[in-house]
A and B are shown apart, each in its own frame.
Chain A
Amino acid sequence: MSFLLQSIFNGLLAGCIYALFAMGLTLIYGVLNFVNFAHGELIMWGAYFLYLFMGTPFGFPLPIALIPALFFTILLGIGMDRFAFKPIRQANRLTLLIAALGLSFLLRNGAQLFWGAELRTYGFEIKRGWRILNMSITINQMAIIITTLICIVIVYLLFHRSKLGKSMRAVSDNLELARVSGINTKKAIQFAWILSSALACVGGILLALDTNLQPGMGLINLVKAFAATLLGGVGNLWGALLGGIIIGLAENLGVLVISTGYKDAIAFGIMVILLLLRPPVLYGTQE
């Protein structure tokens, strides 16, 4: 029984991380109407940036290193949009996606170039935590939960209580209308990228804290993030949150029944089941 409880807890933990991934992905989807295939690499680079600033020659402690890590990930996100996506904003969907895929490949191999393909970790020792209800919770894990909660609150405040958030929501709803109504769509888009990259960065760091770092970690997490957004309704920020939690739980409860080698495939399996159940997209009058 306590094993089950532990799995549920681990599931919630993973779910927090996936929620952050999914929220970042769905933000860009909402505002620009496309799935950023390179989002996984924002996650991955976020984690590696922290690694970079905590290691030589910088050697910053985690809280300090977090700042440049966030900064550079955001820079990467904005740069992505500016140099790869903006020039083809008007092009057809396939062009955009292929470019995003190429970008993701570029970034992934860039990381491999610098850090090699081996697994790395931040090197924190697993410190004793607490025992609650017969489950053991480490400090790291607590940190993950708290950080996620903080992020959620920040996102909520930014999205629903700030002017920029309002413009983002307007742009998500209807780009043309927003532009015509005098909303600074450029700024809203930029803000979406900042937020999306920040969420990816934090999520990536938390994931690396919980597991490890490797250049290929972007791809599979993109798939999971996407499954979560699909679960929660694409474009729906809070749905993405919920979806992420569900995926996390499903994964950790799922491995109680199936082989751990397929843990990463569970998210995909959920997506397939979801899709089998829904009717074909009626090529309606939306694009």
Chain B
Amino acid sequence: MLEIKELSKSFGGIRAVSDCTFTLKDYGITGLIGPNGSGKTTLFNLITGFIPPDHGEIRFRGKRIDGLLPHEVANGGIIRTFQITRILPKMTVLENMLIAPPLQTGEKFGSLWFKRKTIKTEETENRTKALELIDLIGLSHLKDQFAENLSYGQQKLLELTRGLMAGPKMILLDEPTAGINPTMIRTIIELIVRMKEWGMVFFIIEHNMDVIIELCEWIFVLDNGQKIAEGRPEEIQNDPRVIEAYLGV
């Protein structure tokens, strides 16, 4: 589904991502690990169009997406979350969800006047779906609260669910369990597994090894911008190169 070929990106003199080649499967959950500063988030930024690559290709479902702008990548079917959760603080939980569906008819000025009926139908459908999802994650009682009033864990949950609401083909999660308590981590893991069962494909950056091992079928390891290993969790756990990368930092 996602193919990265010889991707490179440098900032100043530093090679953040160096000649990376990955191929992600069409299903399930793939992990991306590596010591701090190994280029994981940069890789995500490259995939999602926030940074243009210096060299290389990125293909999603056969089509090239390198060089596209972030919103174009998103509309192509890849949604991402951020390391430090980005929700819309002074908008309600419900509004945070309603913003997610792509290419809404009501977002076009002309349509506002001439396609009132279509917009109304879309809004109702989206609202229903949003409320269901909000209920799923147990935040129904907070649906009209500003998102900034939620706890950090709840915000992370919201960000993830909002991603689902956008109806993507693949979700990139940047450290979905960072900075939250174990109970919430469990909730998030359960949600991810649930979403996987519904057919969602994930690519996850994580530092928490337990989470990675539990969730992922396949793992890529990055060190200093280069892919140093890939394989199943059991293989990666025992790979000497991986161990060295983490210890050698």
Q: Are A and B co-members of a single complex? A: yes
B45–A285 CB distance below 8 A: yes
Q: What is the chain A residue whose CB lies nearest that of B50?
A: A284
8 Å CB contact of A283 from B41, B50, B52: B50
Cβ of B51 within 8 Å of any chain A Cβ, yes or no, is: yes
Cβ of B70 within 8 Å of any chain A Cβ, yes or no, is: yes
Q: What residues of chain B lie closer than 8 Å to A282, measured between beta carbons?
A: 50-52, 69-70
Give Cα A283–Cα B69 distance, bound, in whole angstroms. 10
Give Cα A283–Cα B50 distance, bound, in whole angstroms. 7
Interface centre among A282, A283, A284 (most CB of B within 10 A): A282
Q: What is the chain A residue whose CB lies nearest that of B51?
A: A284
Q: What residues of chain B lie closer than 8 Å to A285, measured between beta carbons?
A: 41, 45, 50
**Residues of A bordering B, CB below 8 Å:** 282-285
Q: What is the chain A residue whose CB lies nearest that of B52?
A: A282
Q: What residues of chain A lie closer than 8 Å to B52, measured between beta carbons?
A: 282
Give Cα A149–Cα B41 distance, bound, in whole angstroms. 46
A283–B70 CB distance below 8 A: yes
Give Cα A285–Cα B45 distance, bound, in whole angstroms. 9
**Residues of B bordering A, CB below 8 Å:** 41, 45, 50-52, 69-70
Give Cα A286–Cα B66 distance, bound, in whole angstroms. 21
Q: Smallest CB–CB gap between A282 and chain B, Å?
A: 6
Give Cα A283–Cα B41 distance, bound, in whole angstroms. 15
Q: What residues of chain A lie closer than 8 Å to B41, measured between beta carbons?
A: 285
Q: Smallest CB–CB gap between A255 and chain B, Å?
A: 40
Q: What residues of chain A lie closer than 8 Å to B51, measured between beta carbons?
A: 282, 284
Give Cα A282–Cα B45 distance, bound, in whole angstroms. 11
Q: What residues of chain B lie closer than 8 Å to A284, measured between beta carbons?
A: 45, 50-51
Q: Smallest CB–CB gap between A235 and chain B, Å?
A: 15
Q: Smallest CB–CB gap between A281 and chain B, Å?
A: 11
Q: Smallest CB–CB gap between A94 and chain B, Å?
A: 12
Give Cα A284–Cα B50 distance, bound, in whole angstroms. 6
Give Cα A282–Cα B50 distance, bound, in whole angstroms. 6
Q: Smallest CB–CB gap between A119 and chain B, Å?
A: 47
Give Cα A285–Cα B11 distance, bound, in whole angstroms. 13
Give Cα A284–Cα B69 distance, bound, in whole angstroms. 11
Task: Supply 9 further A-B pairs (C-beta < 8 A) apart from A282-B50, A285-B45, A285-B50.
Answer: A282-B51, A282-B52, A282-B70, A283-B50, A283-B70, A284-B45, A284-B50, A284-B51, A285-B41
Give Cα A285–Cα B69 distance, bound, in whole angstroms. 14
Give Cα A77–Cα B153 distance, bound, in whole angstroms. 43
Q: Smallest CB–CB gap between A149 and chain B, Å?
A: 32
Q: What residues of chain B lie closer than 8 Å to A283, measured between beta carbons?
A: 50, 70
Q: Smallest CB–CB gap between B39 and chain A, Å?
A: 13
Q: What residues of chain A lie closer than 8 Å to B50, measured between beta carbons?
A: 282-285
Q: What residues of chain A lie closer than 8 Å to B45, measured between beta carbons?
A: 284-285
Give Cα A204–Cα B51 distance, bound, in whole angstroms. 41
Give Cα A284–Cα B70 distance, bound, in whole angstroms. 10
| 13 CB-based A-B contacts, threshold 8 Å | A282-B50, A282-B51, A282-B52, A282-B69, A282-B70, A283-B50, A283-B70, A284-B45, A284-B50, A284-B51, A285-B41, A285-B45, A285-B50
Give Cα A283–Cα B51 distance, bound, in whole angstroms. 9
- Closest 3 pairs (CB-CB, A-B): A284-B50, A282-B50, A284-B51
Q: Smallest CB–CB gap between B45 and chain A, Å?
A: 7
Give Cα A211–Cα B41 distance, bound, in whole angstroms. 53
Give Cα A216–Cα B70 distance, bound, in whole angstroms. 42
Q: What residues of chain A lie closer than 8 Å to B70, measured between beta carbons?
A: 282-283
Give Cα A283–Cα B86 distance, bound, in whole angstroms. 13
Q: Smallest CB–CB gap between A279 and chain B, Å?
A: 9
